[in-house]
Structure 1
């Protein structure tokens, strides 16, 4: 019995430390209906998929992101001018739908289970990291839409920092049609 206790004690302490780390975070902010994405400056409510907010040291208003992938990318790039105090992501297990991810269902990114590499794309049409508070719900989403479940620290930098390839980037036919149309406009 004592041996089992000694073996389990580090796991209990580790779980307690993780909860303490998350308990000290400043609270998430309700996403206003007119919130715009930090990178795209577009109204978030007009785009489907999960959103994120990044709270910065010394700033009262968070940066909102159209996609969770963008917020994690922001976190990992060295260009930020302020220290990040917290990152929150929509809990898609509590979201009304993909089209309406919610304004108040935030979870700390460090507590989320992310589906990486699914067929679902985020609000800006790029690959998305789909966050869930529950590992089983994340696994069910991955079974339906592809991908794998990872914690934040298991997501490789190249999965959020690499340029996103879109089908249009490889569609030479579309490019040729646009080029032809521009050429015709110049001739007339």
Structure 2
């Protein structure tokens, strides 16, 4: 066996190791996926039992951990992930696609990548502890929801602490 034939497997292994260190969120979805919310699961932000409330829920993974953090509402999830203490560590984020499931009891089969979702803030529907952000996979459906229930349609990147707290409406 020539030297180049011996080095090639080693080079492939090194490339794979280096690539794994820079995993993108889409590659991690194979490992970090949304899971079923069990009847006794508590919201990581407020401690309330998640299943007791209507509206979209959220889940996220932080870098370096396999534990999924579950939230009783998209508002609580954003409050957590926008906190400067946590913001840098967020790896993967999921929310319900409310076009696919009922508002009163969201089905855990319909989680989507929150970074690709569209959110309606300031609408009349109530979630856990009041206002929440309605989440949708498609902007057109988010616009229809906003037309029916009020509110403003925003992309994931446009959501700030001021907006979720009601200090900034647009």
For residues 138-167 of structure 1, give each alpha carbon's deviation from its aligned partner in whole angstroms, at most 9, with x where no partner exists: 11111110012110112233012568xxxx
Write the distance in 2 (CA, Å) between the matches of 1:156 and 1:56. Answer: 19
Residues 29-59 of structure 1 show CA distances to partners (whole Å, capped at 9, x for unaligned) of 2222322111222221111111001112232
Rounded to whole Å, the distance in 1 between the matches of 2:125 and 2:40 is 24
Write the deviation string for residues 57-101 of structure 1: whole angstroms up to 9, x where unpaired.
232221111110111121111233982111111111111x11111
SS of equivalent to 1:121: coil
SS state of the match for residue 109, structure 2? coil
The match for 2:105 is 100
d(CA) in 2 for partners of 1:39, 1:22: 23
* Corresponding position: 1:34 with 2:40: yes
Q: Does 1:85 align with 2:88?
A: no
Contact 1:32 1:103 in 2 (8 A): no
Please state if 1:117 is matched with 2:117.
Answer: no
The partner residue of 2:140 within 136, 141, 145 is: 136
Whether the 8 Å contact between 2:40 and 2:49 is mirrored in structure 1 is yes
Larger Rg: 1
**1:70–1:160: 8 Å Cα contact kept in structure 2?**
no
Aligned mate of 2:26, from 19, 23, 32: 23
Q: Whole-Å Cα distance in 2 between the matches of residues 161 and 146 of structure 1?
A: 17
Secondary structure of the residue aligned to 1:79 is helix
Q: Which runs of 5+ in 2 are unaligned?
A: 1-22
Let me know the Cα RMSD of the aligned residues: 2.2
- Conservation of the 8 A alpha-carbon contact between 1:38 and 1:65: yes
Cα distance in 2 for residues equivalent to 1:113 and 1:21: 21
Secondary structure of 1:107's counterpart equals strand
- Supply the distance in 1 between the matched residues of 2:25 and 2:45 (Cα, whole angstroms): 26
Count of residues in Structure 1 that have an aligned counterpart in Structure 2: 142
1:74 aligns with 2:80: yes
- Structure 1 residue ranges, 4+ long, deviating more than 4 angstroms after superposition: none
Aligned-partner Cα distance in 2 for 1:116–1:162: 9
**How many Å apart are 1:109 and its aligned residue?**
0.9
